[in-house]
A and B are shown apart, each in its own frame.
Chain A
Amino acid sequence: MLEFLAMGGYAAYVWTAFGLTFAVLWLNWWSGRRRHLRVKARLARQGQDETLHRGATIKEVNA
C-alpha cells in the first residue's frame, strides 16, 4: 500500500494531477447544478410577483 502511494517517487506529481482533476470535475457538476437551482428559484419568485401584480390590478379595477 505504501509502495502504491509512493508512485515510484512521483507521488507528489501523480496525486496532485489526479486530485486537481477530480476537484475540477466536481466543481463543474456542482456549479451547473447550483445555476439550475438558482434560475428556477428566480423564475418561481418572478412568477409569484406577476400573479400578485395581476391580482392587485384586478382589485383596482373592481374598486
Chain B
Amino acid sequence: MWKFFHQLASPPHFYRLAGLLAPWFLGLSLVGMLVGLYGGLVLAPPDYQQGDAFRIIYVHVPSAYLSLMAYTMMAVASIIGLVWRMKLAHAVAAAAAPIGASFTFLALATGSIWGRPMWGTWWEWGDPRMMTELILLFLYLGYMALRSAIEDRNKADRASAVLAIVGVVNVVLVHYSVEWWSSLHQGQTIMNENARMPTSMLAPLLIMIFAFTLFFGAALLQRLRAEVLEREHSARWVGRMLAEEQANA
C-alpha cells in the first residue's frame, strides 16, 4: 500500500498513469452524460411549477457542485503541499484552478439563464448565493493571477497555497448562503426532506453529477500531465521519454 502511494507520488509514474487514466475518465463521463441527458431532457416529466425550464438543473447543479468541489480540492492539496512539501500536491492545486473557474462561470451563467424566466431577473446584486458564488470566481481568478505573477515556482506554490486555504471560508458561505440568509435562490434539492424529487427527475441529476465529476477528473489529469512535465523539465526521465517519442515518430 505504501509502496503504491510512494510510486504514485513519483513524477514519471504519475505522468504515465495519468496518461492511461485520462481517456477512460473522459470516455466514461461522455457515456454518463449521454445517459443523464436522455433521462433529464426526455424521460423526466416537466416540473409542475417551472415547466420545462427546470431542466436547466441538469447542467446547473453539477457545475455548481464541481465549482465547490474543485476549490475544496485545491485547498486540501495546498495544505498537503505546504505541510508535507509535496510538489505533486501543488501541481494538483495549480491544475484544478482553471477547471474550477470554468465550472464556477458555468454555475453563474446557467443560473442566470434559469433565473430570467423564473425570477424575472438575470442577476440580483446583494443576493447571498449569487454574491458568494461570484466571489468564488474571483478567488479562482486571483489564485491564477497570483500564480502567474510570481516567477519562482516554489514561491508561487507557497503564496497561492495560502490564498487557496484562506479562501475556503467562502466555500462554506456558498453552501450555507441559502440557509443563513434569505435568498432568491431555492434551497437544497437533493437532500431536502420537505420536497423530495421524484426518482425520474432525481436519477438523471445524480448521473449528471457523477458524469461531470468524471469529466473533471479527466480534465484534471490532462492538465496535471502538462504541469508535471513543466516542473520536471530538467529531469532525466523527461529527456529520455521525449527522445523516445521522437525516435518513434
Contacts and interface: CB of A to CB of B under 8 A. Distances in A.
Contacts, number: 92
Given A28-B102, A29-B26, A35-B226, A40 B53 contact: no
Given A28-B99, A44-B242, A14 B52 contact: yes
Interface in B230-247: 230, 233, 238-239, 242-243, 245-246
A7 interface: yes
Contacts of B37: 18
Given A13-B114, A27-B102, A20 B242 contact: no
Given A24-B105, A32-B223, A47-B243, A10 B117 contact: yes
B60 interface: yes
B242 A13 contact: no
Query: Interface residue tally of chain B, by bracket?
Result: 35 or more
20 contacts: A7-B55, A8-B51, A10-B52, A10-B117, A13-B56, A13-B117, A14-B55, A17-B59, A18-B59, A20-B109, A21-B106, A24-B105, A29-B26, A31-B98, A32-B99, A32-B226, A39-B229, A43-B242, A44-B246, A47-B242
Given A9-B52, A20-B106, A21-B63, 19 more contacts: A8-B51, A8-B53, A9-B51, A10-B52, A10-B53, A13-B56, A13-B113, A13-B117, A14-B55, A16-B113, A17-B59, A17-B109, A18-B37, A20-B109, A25-B215, A29-B218, A32-B99, A36-B229, A47-B243
Interface of B: 26, 37, 41-42, 46, 51-53, 55-56, 59-60, 63, 98-99, 102, 105-106, 109-110, 113-114, 116-117, 215, 218-219, 222-223, 225-226, 229-230, 233, 238-239, 242-243, 245-246
